[in-house]
Each structure stands twice: as structure tokens, then as C-alpha cells.
Structure 1
């Protein structure tokens, strides 16, 4: 690996991140909430640290290799998660331990949405804004933003983009140059965020809550400025806005780009992943709403559909917003909604989970294997639409599933060995690796009651989920470090 170029990139990225602390500083000044000095000092410290890393190697030029890209991505997320915890740790009114501050920071940046905080309604406005902003930056990936800037500074970005972008198909670009791809993604992301904020404001939120919740909605993060989440507003109109934008954020952003560029929505209907994504959401919503009504959880069809629709979309897209306590619902519903989060949203979206495209390819592979028993000599390629999927891709999907199940099992056993009960262990690890947030059992409300060792394990699981396992695990292989 090339240590100088790695230091140069990390220094640049830290300086970029320091600039994102300007809005919390402004919010702290406007509301005079006592956090101005803390945010300003962290901003200056991060900027200085990044500058110290960058200055000695600023003139060094070298192309990033694949392993450099993996290392930079992982190290930057680790460094950023720790640096991002500083405002939460030093702010006296929040009063978090170092472990809790790092857990909260990683939860925001990975768009997991699991929290250790209570009393959000009385917290400083700048801290609330900062938590929401962390999710917004993590949603598309601050590294993708940096990819649009780094070429101007003499650093290529393709290896960063390939390592950072979630989904099984990582080489597809919506523009010829990688920097143009990153810019296009951020224009779409920013446009959705502003539109969502305006829609929330029109539905009844004040401007602060509207922008704060638009950050976590489009990022599919799930953080809220209130302990009761979206349920705090008790507004069906606000819930409809959240449902609509959660649904949009769970779609491949390349489809949004194509639809906007061509002014044609047919690109959605012609995409196999989108059709399965929409179908699954409809099926889960119908099943959950029907069960709620038949078991008299809510007295009317309207209420059953309202809460069933919101929680189904929220958990299936791995957002994690709440307008009801789904963990208290009867029967199999809580476990069903946790299991649906394993599928998650589309590849190329801000959603977590294993991604709909992988689920689709695995389903087609299972069908092919069954048909192969009846026609052992037939050649039956797996197809998406009219396109045959290479066997290399199919093997990668199967490999991902195997590693995902194995990793999930090991982490869950470790959490149980640390004294957590089975239901809490299963749901919390699922919530972390799927970047979902809410769980069952002891973590149905928040993660404050868990021990510090468990929180560190779950923080590692968040990072695994955000980087889709292989990007992180590759650093633990001997081949990665071999020259």
C-alpha cells in the first residue's frame, strides 16, 4: 500500500468533514443552546488534524490501487466515527460516556438509527441537528461526495467509489467520469432532501423538524428530534410524507437519475429489482394491516392500515421511524418485520439490508436448481429481464449470503455470551447489520441498557452492515497485507 497517498486522502476527507460542522455551529449560535464552544472547538481541531496529515504529503501524486481504496474507506469510517463522537462526548448537557458517544456517532454515520439517548425533546437544538446531519452525510456516503472533489486535487476516486458504494453491482456508473457520477448522485440526494423538507413543513412540521427529519428520511436513517419519533406529531399527513420519501430513498438512485434525465417514469416499471421491491412492500403492508385488524389491535380498518403501512415501509426500507410500538404487536408481526429488514432496499439506494437484487438473484438461482433436477443436461442461465447474469456474479451473491449468515451467527453468539438474552441478541444484531435501528426485547426502546462490551460489538456490526461485510473483512485476510 502507499501510505503517503492514504494519509493525503484521509487528511483531505477530514478537512471536508470539519466543514460539515459549520451548520451545527450556526444552529448553536441562533438558539444560544450552550453548545457553540464545543462544536467550534471540534471543528477547529478536526480541520487542524486533517491539515497536519495532508500538508507533509500534499505534493505526492500516485493513483489509488484497489487495496488502497479499501483501506482508506475502512479507516476513514473508523476515524470519522470516533471524531464524530467528540461533540456528543464533550457536550455536558448530553452527558454520554465515550462508549455511548461512539455508539451514537457510528449509528448516525452508518444510518442505523439505534440510539442510547433519551430526553430528546429537551436536548440542545444543535445536538439534535448534528445527529440528523450525521445520518444525512452517511446516507450517500461522505466519501462519494469527496470523490467529486478529489480529482481536482490530484487524487483519483474510482477505488474509493467501488469500495464505498453499496450493492452487488458496483461498477455501473451513471456518468462517464466517476466524479460526474458522484455529483449526479449528490444532486439527486440533495433534491430529494429539499423536497422532503418542504413536504414535511407543508404537512405541519416547523422548519427545524422538517429539515431534521428530511435528513434522516432520505438517508433512511431513522433518527428523530423526539423520543416518540414520527409518532410525536400524531399526524397522518406527516406519516404519508415519510412513507413516500422512505419508499423513494429505497430505490436505486441510478433509476432516479435516468427518470429525471429522460423525464420518463417507465424506467422504474421496466426494472426487475424495483418491481420486486414495490411488490414486497405491498405484500408486507397488506399482511400486517390485515393481522392488526383481525386481532383487534386497532378498532378500525383505517387505523390498522395507517399503522401497518407506516411500520411496514419503515422497517422494510431499514429506516426505523416509528408511529407505534411494533415490538408490542401480537403474534409473529414483530419478528416478521425484523426479517423483512434482511432484504432491505434496492442496490444503489441509501437503504440497508442484503438488498432486493440479491434476494431476486437468489430466488432465480433456487428456481434454476429445482429445474435442473428435472432437466439435468439443460443450460439455463439466470436472467434479469433479457440480460443473462454472469456466473461470477451469481457466485458472488451466494458468497455474500454465506458470509453474511456466518458473520451474523458469530456476532449473535458473542452478544449472547456477554449476557444478552436470545430475543434481544437476535434482533439487535439484525438491526445493526441491516442498519435498521429498532429491535425487540431490551432494545425495543433504545440501547442504553446494554453493557459497554456489547455496544462495541454492535458498533462493529453496524460498520460491517454499512460497508456490506466484504469491504471490512478483506482487511482481516493475509492476502490483503501480502505484497
Structure 2
């Protein structure tokens, strides 16, 4: 457990340093209640980091993570950070509901962006708005870190090894983990800086550019906090560029930059498939919006492309009340929401590389039916995909869709319609808050406390890609059987 406690200590340290900027802003703006709440939270984060570090020193130094240790970390770290993250909301008095505060914190950390404390975040103290944006940014970065370190060890990759043109090596050894973390952090930080510059050049103030960049690059934005409907075209273009870059494989970007090879990026099969899905969904929506007379062709192209890009990147931005669009458009948006971006990106959803493998598996199956003596082989980038990886992707797809159906059914018990509960379940599972707007609803802040906790659980399951939660539950049941 030495590496488990070591990672928990590092995450607590990161949270402590992340609280400094909101605390300074609260003091500068004389928001004393949030300042006190953030100070207490920082003290708790520092105390937790110290305790976890002591526990790591007492353990035998192995420097390697076991399967059980990795599953525990992937599940427990989200609950731990969620509890720490909700303390400023509770202690500042902005809410007295523990379920709402916990859901707000988890919504930020998982980059879902769904408001839970209030219907919108208008009127919040600026320091708490900054803390929410920082949590979203850290959540996107944390997901990338888990993706390149712990997740391959825990979930048997589930297609992660198909990223970066199969040239990324994953290892449970801490020294090798650090290398992957540095690579992911470098690309993530550079993209964030470019996003801030893009928004600033588009006309936003530096402070707003920083917050907007952190929310969009991490795919943690939402239509309630960031209203893009009245923004100039320059801001739309900046947001579109940031969402597109945030949907790409960060590890592949690193490899392309390291080798100074644009060809490596352009010829990536997953990126080509991503562009195909993006343009195909945009074409369907633009044609239908123009045909129904809702928009002129030029306006339909602008709002349609932006909205599809927002959903496929699971960013949650809105430039038009898409919930008032015809049912066909909403169905297409829901589908691309489940698709998500490329593997190795902070986006949610199933990820393009998995859908690409499933598509080629279907094609191989059809060919095998026509030619029974043929041995079907699923290839990606000219390399054969191992049968066990294909099997795991099939298992993951099944688990993902069963989880969505089950939680949609459970959320409907709270009194909302089945379509509305499906929208909330899709929003939580894919980390895209705008999916909750597709079919209306009272808003997460108006739902019962038990359903808010259920949504928080679904957000975590979506971020750790379901399997780790089931694996940890299996370890727990097995441990209880051995004790009995």
C-alpha cells in the first residue's frame, strides 16, 4: 500500500496549493466567509497530505502498484477529493445541504459542470467561482494522470494501449509513472496557456479568459455559468479551437511534438475517425435545421457545428437553446455525447478508438459470415489488435450501457420523466452537463438528496470508466467472505 498512500499524499498536496489562489482572491475582494472556509479546507488538505505521507513511509517500499491497490486509488481518490472540495461550499454558508455540496464538488472534479447547489452559479462569490474552475481543471488533469498511470494496470487497458499509435508503454512502476505524468502535464499546461491567450485575444478580460480556459480545456464548462449566445464570433472561434484541441489525444500530441512529426498526428486513424464523426453529425444537424426553416444555412452551419463540437468534446457549452430544437437534432447530440473525444483526452464518453475497434469488429464479423474460411483480424494503424483487448472493449461497452440504463431507471424514481432521467444519466456518465438540458427537468439542485448522491456516484463511475468500481466491489466482497 506504499504507493497508494504516496499518491493520496501527492493529490492532497496539489489540492492544498490549488486553494491558495482562491484564498488570496477572497481576501482581496473581502469575501471573508469564503476566505475562512477556504483556509480551513487548506488546513485539512495539508493535514491529510502529512498523514498520508507518514503512512507511505511506514510501508514496505516496493515502488510498484498492485491491481487491488490501483482499484482502491481510482475509486477512493474521487470520494476523498470530493469531500475536501465541498468544504468551501458548506463552510461559507452558500449551502447547508451535504448531498448538494458533494454533488457540486464531484461535478467539478469529474468535469461534468452540472450546477447542484443553486440552479445557476450567478451571484456566487468570485473566490468560489474560481475554486470551482480550478477543481474542474485539476479534475481534467487528474483524469489524464490516472489514464496514463493507474488505469492501464487496473482495467487491463480497455483500449488505452491503442492510443498514440501503439507507441506508449504503461507501467505500474512509480518511476515510469512519473515520466508519463510529466508528459501529460506538459501538454495539458501548454494547451491551457494557449486557451487563455486565445480567449484574451478574442476580447475577454484576463481573469475571465483564465476561468473560461480552465473550464473548456478540461471539458468542465456548462451552459449555466458560461453564456456564449451573446458572444462575438471571435469568442466562438476561440472556444471552438479550445474544445477541438481538448478532444485530442494528449499523449499523441506529445509524441508528435517530441518527434517534430505533423504526419504522425495527421495520419492517426483515431483522429481521422473523430473528424469523420464530427463532420457527419454536423452535416445531419445543419441539413435538418435548414430544412425545417429554424435557421438560414449559414447560421445553421455555425450553431450546428459549435453545438456538435461542444457535445462530442463533452464541454457543455451552448450558443443556442438546443433543447428547443426538433427531436432528431437532440438525438444526434445525445449520440455524439456518448461517443466522446479521442483516447488520452480529458473528455468523457466511450472514446473514439473504442468505437473504431467495435466498428472494425463488426466489419470483420460480416466478412467472416460471407467467407467462413477466412480468419478475421481487427487492425488499427496497420497493426493487429489483440483478441483480449477487443474482448475487453466489448465488455466495457456492455457495462457502460447497462450502467446508463440502470441509473436512468433509478433517477426516474425521483419524480422526473424517463426521458429527463435519461438526460441526467447521460450527463453524469459522459461528463457533459448539457445532456441534462436535452429533455428538460427541474435541475439537479431541485432533486432529492438521495438522487444527488446517486448522480455523484454515477459521475465518479463514468470518470473511472465503470470497471474499477466493479473490481473494487469484487475485492471487497471477496475480503468479507475470507473474514467470515
Note whether the superposition's TM-score is higher than 0.5. Answer: yes
Could you tell me which runs of 5 or more consecutive residues in structure 2 were left unpaired when the two chains were aligned.
Answer: none
User: RMSD of aligned C-alpha atoms?
Assistant: 2.5
Query: For residues 157-187 of structure 1, what are the alpha-carbon distances to aligned partners after superposition, in whole Å with 9 as ceiling and x for unaligned?
Result: 9547745998622596379932111101101
* 1:206 alignment counterpart: 205
8 A contact 2:250–2:344 mirrored in 1: yes
Partner SS for 1:122: coil
1:388 CA displacement: 0.7
1:80 is aligned to 2:81: yes
1:144 CA displacement: 2.5
Q: Give the whole-Å Cα distance in 2 for the aligned partners of 1:392 and 1:164.
A: 12
* 1:331 alignment counterpart: 327
Q: Give the whole-Å Cα distance in 2 for the aligned partners of 1:8 and 1:141.
A: 15
Q: Give the whole-Å Cα distance in 2 for the aligned partners of 1:170 and 1:479.
A: 28
Q: Give the whole-Å Cα distance in 2 for the aligned partners of 1:481 and 1:315.
A: 39
* 2:168 alignment counterpart: 173
Q: Give the whole-Å Cα distance in 1 for the aligned partners of 2:21 and 2:157.
A: 27
1:39 is aligned to 2:30: no
1:10 CA displacement: 2.4
> Residue 205 and residue 166 in structure 1: after superposition, are their counterparts in 2 closer, same or farther (change >3 A)?
farther
* 2:300 alignment counterpart: 304
Q: Give the whole-Å Cα distance in 1 for the aligned partners of 2:112 and 2:232.
A: 24
Report 1:217-366 matches (<5 A). Answer: 217-223=216-222, 227=224, 229-231=226-228, 233-298=230-295, 300-366=296-362
8 A contact 2:149–2:181 mirrored in 1: no
1:331 CA displacement: 3.1
Deviates more, 1:111-120 or 1:71-80: 111-120
Partner SS for 1:346: coil
1:451 is aligned to 2:448: yes
Report 1:138-153 matches (<5 A). Answer: 138-141=139-142, 144=145
Q: Give the whole-Å Cα distance in 2 for the aligned partners of 1:30 and 1:232.
A: 31
* 1:126 alignment counterpart: 127
Query: For residues 106-125 of structure 1, what are the alpha-carbon distances to aligned partners after superposition, in whole Å with 9 as ceiling and x for unaligned?
Result: 01101111112345342211
Q: Give the whole-Å Cα distance in 2 for the aligned partners of 1:120 and 1:305.
A: 30
* 2:17 alignment counterpart: 19
Q: Give the whole-Å Cα distance in 2 for the aligned partners of 1:71 and 1:166.
A: 17
Partner SS for 2:433: coil
8 A contact 1:167–1:355 mirrored in 2: no
8 A contact 1:433–1:466 mirrored in 2: yes
Partner SS for 1:120: coil
Report 1:407-422 matches (<5 A). Answer: 407-422=403-418
Deviates more, 1:449-458 or 1:420-429: 449-458
1:133 CA displacement: 0.8
Report 1:55-204 matches (<5 A). Answer: 55=54, 57-63=56-62, 64-92=65-93, 94-95=94-95, 97-116=97-116, 117-141=118-142, 144=145, 158-159=149-150, 162-163=153-154, 168-170=159-161, 173=168, 177-204=176-203
Q: Give the whole-Å Cα distance in 2 for the aligned partners of 1:403 and 1:199.
A: 39
> Residue 441 and residue 267 in structure 1: after superposition, are their counterparts in 2 closer, same or farther (change >3 A)?
closer
Q: Give the whole-Å Cα distance in 2 for the aligned partners of 1:332 and 1:72.
A: 41
Query: For residues 253-305 of structure 1, what are the alpha-carbon distances to aligned partners after superposition, in whole Å with 9 as ceiling and x for unaligned?
Result: 1221122122332122211110000111111112212222222222x333212
Deviates more, 1:376-385 or 1:168-177: 168-177
Q: Give the whole-Å Cα distance in 2 for the aligned partners of 1:376 and 1:65.
A: 42
Report 1:378-397 matches (<5 A). Answer: 378-397=374-393
Q: Give the whole-Å Cα distance in 2 for the aligned partners of 1:292 and 1:444.
A: 24
Partner SS for 1:85: helix
Query: For residues 177-220 of structure 1, what are the alpha-carbon distances to aligned partners after superposition, in whole Å with 9 as ceiling and x for unaligned?
Result: 32111101101100000110011011011111100011111111
> Residue 182 and residue 56 in structure 1: after superposition, are their counterparts in 2 closer, same or farther (change >3 A)?
closer
1:232 CA displacement: 5.6
8 A contact 1:312–1:337 mirrored in 2: yes
Query: For residues 410-464 of structure 1, what are the alpha-carbon distances to aligned partners after superposition, in whole Å with 9 as ceiling and x for unaligned?
Result: 2122112333211111111111111111224675684222221211111111111
- TM-score normalised according to structure 1 size: 0.90
Query: For residues 58-86 of structure 1, what are the alpha-carbon distances to aligned partners after superposition, in whole Å with 9 as ceiling and x for unaligned?
Result: 34333331211110221111111111111
> Residue 444 and residue 265 in structure 1: after superposition, are their counterparts in 2 closer, same or farther (change >3 A)?
farther
1:25 CA displacement: 0.9
1:55 CA displacement: 2.7
Deviates more, 1:325-334 or 1:229-238: 229-238
Deviates more, 1:111-120 or 1:405-414: 111-120
* 2:367 alignment counterpart: 371
1:480 CA displacement: 7.4
